[in-house]
Amino acid sequence: MDTNPKHTYVLIAGAWFGGWVWRDVIPGLRNLGHAVTAPTLTGLGERRHNGTDDTDLSTHIDDVIAHIEMEGLQSVTLVGWSYGGMVVTGVTAKIPDKIKSLIYLDAYVPEDGKALVDYAPANLRAKVDMFMNERESIPPFPLDVFGETAQSVVEFVTPRLTVQPWRTFYEPVQARIPPQDISIAYVYCSGYQPLFTEFYEKFKDDPRVRTAVIDTGHLCMLSTPLKTIEILAELA
């Protein structure tokens, strides 16, 4: 890792995805002189064999905290995509002294005591409730739900998706208002039937939150990696 990076990014993927989803963004940010890591959360990606029935949101928050501490990272630009917004909110509440900036990338921005399912549309909530009632992991949603139909992306993503530990969607997060010295940004993907409009609408007029819009589907790091890299670099 660069001993004198411009910024230090920790990229957190969403449900069903691992650190592999950042394959195009990581080298792009590194080429700009930044340090970048993308830890995969317990039970997902290459860590799919580590998940248990007890894996929950706290497990994933602890994954990221342990990663930051073991790598000795300071002044972190913490990026949470999709479900990853739940995770980075919890991380920032616990170790605000390690975080320099917080970027929500088409992501959930939960209030204190809220779980992901509290923000789910009724039709999606009904689907995940079925798995919760059976105490079963939640299979990935079809990619077209997220506005992704490009064959190259679908072929790359589909075999790498894993089931999501059900408790991660149901555990409430501990959220705190970040200290004023932590900058906050929200990036909204507008090119599909969006799931995160309410968060963008909430933050676009907030003087503390910088916002950006990418006209693409939810998987912006794969569909428009150059634009995603550009915006992440601007908002760090």
Q: Decide: 92 and 99 in contact? Cβ < 8 Å.
A: yes
Of 82, 101, 137, 223, the active-site residue reads 82
Q: CA nearest 160: which of 17, 19, 57, 36?
A: 17
Residue 31, H or E segment: helix 25-31
* Residue 137 a catalytic site member: no
Q: Kindly give the pairing relationship between strand 99-107 and strand 183-189.
A: parallel
Say if CB 67 and CB 1 are below 8 A apart.
Answer: no
φ, ψ of residue 177 in degrees (nearest 5):
-65, 120
| Rounded Cα distance, 48 and 172, in Å | 23
Strand partners, 26: none
CA torsion sign for 9, 13, 17, 22 is negative
Query: Catalytic positions, please?
Result: 82
